[in-house]
Amino acid sequence: MPDKFRRRLLSLLLSFYNSQHNGSSYLEEDFFEDSGYQRVYRKIYFNIFRNLGFIERILTEYTKNLKDKKAKSLLVLGTSQIFFMDDIPDYACINETVKLAPVYLKKFINATLRNIARNKEVLIQSYSIKENFPDWFVQKWANLFSNDCELDNFLNFFNKSPEFHSINMDSLTPEPYIKNASRSYPMDLASFYIPMLSGNIRASSIMDACAAPGGKTLVLSQLHPNAKITALDKDSKRSDILAHNVKKYNADNVRIINEDFLNFNLKNQEKFDLILLDAPCTGLGTMKRHPEIRWLRTREDIKKMASYQNKFLEKASQLVTHGGYILYSVCSLEAEEGIDVINNFIDSNPNFKIFTPNFHYIPSDFFWGKFYYTLPHKTLTDGFFAALLKNTA
**For 249-291, what is each residue's pLDDT tens digit?**
999 999 999 999 999 998 878 899 999 999 999 999 999 999 9
Q: Decide: helix, strand or coil at residue 162.
A: coil
Label the pairing between strands 272-278 and 320-330. Answer: parallel
pLDDT tens track, the chain, 393 positions: 789 999 999 999 999 998 776 656 778 889 999 999 999 999 999 999 999 999 999 999 999 878 899 999 999 999 999 999 999 999 999 999 999 999 999 999 999 999 999 999 999 999 999 999 999 999 999 999 989 999 999 999 999 988 889 999 999 999 998 887 788 999 999 999 999 999 999 999 999 999 999 999 999 999 999 999 999 999 999 999 999 999 999 999 999 999 999 999 988 788 999 999 999 999 999 999 999 999 999 999 999 999 999 999 999 999 999 999 999 999 999 999 999 999 999 999 999 999 987 777 899 999 999 999 999 999 999 999 999 999 998
Domain end point (choices 75, 101, 127): 127
Look up the CATH number of the domain holding residue 28.
1.10.940.10
> Which of these, 223, 103, 132, lies nearest to 173 by C-alpha position?
223
DSSP class of residue 199 equals T
Please tell me whether residues 17 and 87 are part of one structural domain: yes
Q: For residue 199, tell me if it sits in a domain.
A: yes
149 is catalytic: no
Please tell me whether residues 121 and 185 are part of one structural domain: no
Q: How far is CA 126 from CA 58, 118, 226, 290, 326, in A?
A: 10, 15, 58, 25, 48
Q: Any known ligand binding at 324?
A: no
Average pLDDT value over all residues in the chain: 94
Q: For residue 186, tell me if it sits in a domain.
A: yes
Q: For residue 238, tell me if it sits in a domain.
A: yes
Please tell me whether residues 217 and 87 are part of one structural domain: no
Please tell me whether residues 97 and 188 are part of one structural domain: no
Q: Any known ligand binding at 311?
A: no
For residue 81, give every residue at least 6 positions away whose Cβ sits within 8 Å of its Cβ, in sequence order, or none: 44, 47, 88, 93, 96, 97
CA-to-CA distance for 293 and 209, rounded, in angstroms? Answer: 24
Q: For residue 64, tell me if it sits in a domain.
A: yes
Q: Any known ligand binding at 213?
A: yes
Evaluate whether 224 touches 203 at the Cβ level (below 8 Å): yes
Q: For residue 154, tell me if it sits in a domain.
A: no
CA-to-CA distance for 167 and 257, rounded, in angstroms? Answer: 25
Which helix H or strand E contains 325, and what residues bound it?
strand 320-330
CA-to-CA distance for 352 and 388, rounded, in angstroms? Answer: 10
Q: For residue 203, tell me if it sits in a domain.
A: yes
CA-to-CA distance for 390 and 2, rounded, in angstroms? Answer: 59
What is the structure's pLDDT at 306?
96
Please tell me whether residues 303 and 381 are part of one structural domain: yes
Q: What is the secondary structure of 23-59 as a DSSP string?
A: T---------TT-TTHHHHHHHHHHHHHSHHHHHHHH
Label the pairing between strands 228-233 and 205-208. Answer: parallel
For residue 79, give every residue at least 6 positions away whose Cβ sits within 8 Å of its Cβ, in sequence order, or none: 55, 58, 59, 113, 116
Please tell me whether residues 198 and 246 are part of one structural domain: yes
Among residues 93, 149, 281, 331, the one annotated as catalytic is 331
Q: For residue 247, tell me if it sits in a domain.
A: yes
What is the structure's pLDDT at 18?
87
Structurally, the chain folds into a number of domains equal to: 2
Its pTM stands at 0.94
What is the structure's pLDDT at 324?
97
Domain end point (choices 127, 147, 180): 127
What is the structure's pLDDT at 232?
96
Q: Any known ligand binding at 260?
A: yes
Please tell me whether residues 239 and 385 are part of one structural domain: yes
Per-residue burial over 343-375, b = 16 or more CB atoms within 10 Å of its CB, e = otherwise = eebbeeeeebeebebebeebeeebbbeebbbbb
What is the structure's pLDDT at 28?
87
Evaluate whether 278 touches 332 at the Cβ level (below 8 Å): no
Q: For residue 158, tell me if it sits in a domain.
A: no
Look up the CATH number of the domain holding residue 363.
3.40.50.150
Q: Any known ligand binding at 210?
A: yes
243 exposure class (CB count in 10 Å sphere: 0-12, 13-18, 19+): middle
What is the structure's pLDDT at 23?
57
What is the structure's pLDDT at 183?
86
Please tell me whether residues 79 and 174 are part of one structural domain: no
Domain coverage including residue 183: 165-391
Domain end point (choices 127, 146, 177): 127
Please tell me whether residues 250 and 356 are part of one structural domain: yes
What is the structure's pLDDT at 24?
62
Render pLDDT for 14-40 as a digit per residue (tens, 0 to 9): 999 987 766 567 788 899 999 999 999
Please tell me whether residues 212 and 319 are part of one structural domain: yes
Please tell me whether residues 88 and 206 are part of one structural domain: no
> Which of these, 215, 184, 158, lies nearest to 380 by C-alpha position?
158
Please tell me whether residues 120 and 190 are part of one structural domain: no
